[in-house]
Structure 1
Amino acid sequence: MSDGKIRNMEEFAAASGLSRPTVSKFFHDPASVRPPTRVRIEGALEKDDYRPNIFAMNQNRKLTKNLGIVVPCLADPFFAEIARDLEQRCIAAGYRPALYGAHDDPALENDILDSLRALKPAGVLLAPLGRVSNLRAIEKFCADVPTVLFDSMVDVAGLTFVGSDNPQFATLIVNYLCRTGEPPCLFEMKTPSNPNACKRRLGYLQAIERLGQTPHVIRVKGEGWNFEEIGRHGGARALAEGRVRTDTVLCSNDRLAIGFLTACYEAGLRVGHGDGCALRVAGQDDHPLSRHACPPLTTVAQDCEAISRLAVETLFRGIASDASAGQATLFEGRLVMRDSA
């Protein structure tokens, strides 16, 4: 740009102080941007004497049928299951999805976003790591590529999100446990990877206090996504130290609960709601393995089918309009009663 001539849309967007997606939206449909933005772009066009290459614009819009699907951990059966459902929906719609796992590594998550840029995807379905994610990188990526977040919402305004109503999960299971026995304590990680855990803690505290009971939270050490081991070792210490002061334990997620069940077994404590049982244990998520735990785990099920369906539909609408809705849609959980509580 040394000669002062605007050569492409990126340079025009930079010169006019607007984002490239906003400028692109204007050229495809001037009515799709706000009136003040439209006036600003029209003024910049007169000033800079820039005219876009319409052929190149159309080629770029139709460049690929590639889609990206990014999850925190492909080894987790929950994410493997929802990723498979998303993948099948995208394939059925004629797209070519590429599946990525971030392995609880924020640097890898950033690298995946960079790789997707090179792939020139039509859009991306992203379940971010959450607490350790680079929020600036996610915000910048979502400004450039039609993206729908699912499972875990990060603290960036204006992003489109489809997921579960986590406070409602905790309220639902707390009400059930209090109806059928002692009020539960909450068993969670001190530094959870997924921000959903914080929303569930808030739901637990509000539900317990609403019922006139005293909340009790057991927080254990642990990092990353190895929840079963964290639940097992943290649970064993909590039991040995007498920190479990009620006969009912609500775990922040099912994988922690499965680890806690192992700790109970190793401590010689029978779990369930029948005669001879020392503890009731419940989880949240309805993880694919929770029904095969011993005993089978009482939990709150996510509506994975609805989340997957709406995430894909929302992404396709965003691709078609070259814009995203910037709204959050939350689905309530469903109580699943099994033998553990």
Structure 2
Amino acid sequence: MKRKIKTMEEFAEVSGISRPTISKYFNDPESVRRSTRDRIEIALEAYSYRPNIFAINQNRKLTKTIGIVVPYLADPFFAEIVRLMERRCMDAGFSPMIFSAHGEQRLENDALAALQSQRPAGALIAPLGRHSDFDSVRHFTEEVPTVVFDSNVKVGEAFVGSDSFQSIPLIVDYLCRSGEPPCFLEMPPVNPNANKRRDAYTLAMERLGHDPKVIRVDGKGWDFERIGMDEGMRLISNKELPSETVLCSNDRLAIGFIAAAYQQGLRVGHGAGCALRVAGHDDHPWARFTCPPLTTVAQDYSAIVDRSVEKLFDLIENGRTQEERPEVLIECKLVLRSSA
């Protein structure tokens, strides 16, 4: 029977190749001569040996691991961002490790601690924001080269995210030109983006000569669709909406609100027979499949990922080269669909 190889020392013995050369191969295959590389790869196949990557990383000065931490991986927005980041990292020869905080401070702290123990080359993190343990997040970013995305908590070497003061005025202007000026539907904010979007709405309405009408509904956590539906049912039943045009703070709230309108027998859309117009923000992956499809402003997922990863790779290769923490703001695009 074929001998079971468990350690790199045993593999060196049976392959006849020195332990340092094998270690060098696993750190960087291109650093080993082609003929030696071929011998190692033939032996790997013959003995079905796979090294303990975590042990190798612990012995490196710089690992090939990149951590990705998001607040809630079940949110399709973050799932898509993580999918793109994961692929970019793998294409560059890194091994991504993905963590979700599940909307909880304790789990975010645990994720950062677990990631730091792996001595990653760098990290891409979207902090919870107002619910984060700021000291823990800051300590992590002081130890690990980090680019922050989506939620602009003042930590890390750079921030990449969408420009709310460009995107919100874009859709407010359209809604005001095409019908009744919108009210703004929000819930207690879970990260800094929510506050920025409300402030951007208020400024945009005032610039256009309209009174801002902000409605904050009850609800907490990340179950945005349920909150949008439950609170939308209440607002519609009690006739508490100050406008027939509703701009929701994010698409997930808007998806729930459209469901509430359907339950109340109200037609959502733009034109004859429609009782409400509904719009959102983000271009959530499900936004085009609501009934009717949701008018929104689209975050540029690819640009956010590309700039975040580029910033991190530069940081890993060159270290910190700027005194000021750069903030890269990506513009959004208006997406017109049937809901408004």
Normalised by the shorter chain, which TM-score bucket?
0.7 to 0.9
CA contact (8 A) 1:170 1:203 kept: yes
Q: Show the counterpart of 2:178.
A: 180
- Deviation of 1:61 after TM superposition, in Å, equals 6.8
Amino acid at match of 1:258: I
CA contact (8 A) 2:228 2:253 kept: yes
Q: Helix, strand or coil for the counterpart of 1:70?
A: strand
Q: Helix, strand or coil for the counterpart of 2:87?
A: helix
CA contact (8 A) 2:254 2:278 kept: yes
Q: Show the counterpart of 2:192.
A: 195
RMSD value, Cα: 1.4
- Deviation of 1:236 after TM superposition, in Å, equals 1.0
Q: Show the counterpart of 1:298.
A: 295
Of 272, 275, 278, the match for 1:278: 275
- Deviation of 1:152 after TM superposition, in Å, equals 0.8
- For 1:109 and 1:227, how far apart are their aligned partners in 2? 20
CA contact (8 A) 2:279 2:296 kept: yes
The reply on whether 1:109 has 2:129 as its aligned counterpart is no
CA pair 235-323 structure 1, distance change in 2 beyond 3 A:
same
CA contact (8 A) 1:67 1:122 kept: yes
1:2-34 CA distances to partner (integer Å, 9 max, x unpaired)?
xxxxxxxxxxxxxxxxxxxxxxxxxxxxxxxxx
The reply on whether 1:213 has 2:229 as its aligned counterpart is no
1:148-200 CA distances to partner (integer Å, 9 max, x unpaired)?
0001111x2664100000122111100000010010000000x2212111100
- Deviation of 1:240 after TM superposition, in Å, equals 1.8
Q: Show the counterpart of 2:221.
A: 224
CA contact (8 A) 2:148 2:156 kept: no
Q: Helix, strand or coil for the counterpart of 1:115?
A: helix
- For 2:284 and 2:84, how far apart are their aligned partners in 1? 15
CA contact (8 A) 2:63 2:121 kept: yes
CA pair 158-83 structure 1, distance change in 2 beyond 3 A:
closer
- Deviation of 1:322 after TM superposition, in Å, equals 2.7
Q: Show the counterpart of 2:99.
A: 100
Q: Show the counterpart of 1:261.
A: 258
Task: Please give the residue correspondences for 1:24-103 in structure 2 after superposition, counting only pairs within 5 Å.
Answer: 62-103=61-102
CA contact (8 A) 2:141 2:155 kept: no
The reply on whether 1:238 has 2:235 as its aligned counterpart is yes
- For 1:194 and 1:335, how far apart are their aligned partners in 2? 23
Amino acid at match of 1:280: R
CA contact (8 A) 2:266 2:275 kept: yes
CA contact (8 A) 2:254 2:279 kept: yes
Identity %: 58
Amino acid at match of 2:162: S
- Deviation of 1:284 after TM superposition, in Å, equals 0.3
- For 1:218 and 1:323, how far apart are their aligned partners in 2? 43
Q: Helix, strand or coil for the counterpart of 2:184?
A: strand
Q: Structure 2: 5+ residue runs without aligned partners? A: 1-57
- Deviation of 1:63 after TM superposition, in Å, equals 3.3
Q: Helix, strand or coil for the counterpart of 1:99?
A: strand
- Deviation of 1:60 after TM superposition, in Å, equals 7.3
Q: Greater CA deviation, 284-293 or 194-203?
A: 194-203
Q: Helix, strand or coil for the counterpart of 1:178?
A: helix
Q: TM-score when scaled to structure 1?
A: 0.80
Q: Show the counterpart of 1:133.
A: 132
- Deviation of 1:323 after TM superposition, in Å, equals 2.5
- For 2:304 and 2:59, how far apart are their aligned partners in 1? 29
1:222-252 CA distances to partner (integer Å, 9 max, x unpaired)?
1111000000011111112222121100000
CA contact (8 A) 1:160 1:324 kept: no
CA contact (8 A) 1:187 1:250 kept: yes
Moved over 3 A (4+): 59-63
CA pair 121-211 structure 1, distance change in 2 beyond 3 A:
same
- For 2:321 and 2:242, how far apart are their aligned partners in 1? 48
Q: TM-score when scaled to structure 2?
A: 0.80
CA contact (8 A) 2:141 2:156 kept: no
Q: Show the counterpart of 2:339.
A: 340
Amino acid at match of 1:131: R
Q: Show the counterpart of 1:40.
A: none
- Deviation of 1:140 after TM superposition, in Å, equals 1.2
Q: Structure 1: 5+ residue runs without aligned partners? A: 1-58
CA contact (8 A) 2:295 2:338 kept: yes
CA pair 324-296 structure 1, distance change in 2 beyond 3 A:
farther
- For 1:319 and 1:157, how far apart are their aligned partners in 2? 17
CA pair 65-294 structure 1, distance change in 2 beyond 3 A:
same
Q: Helix, strand or coil for the counterpart of 1:225?
A: coil
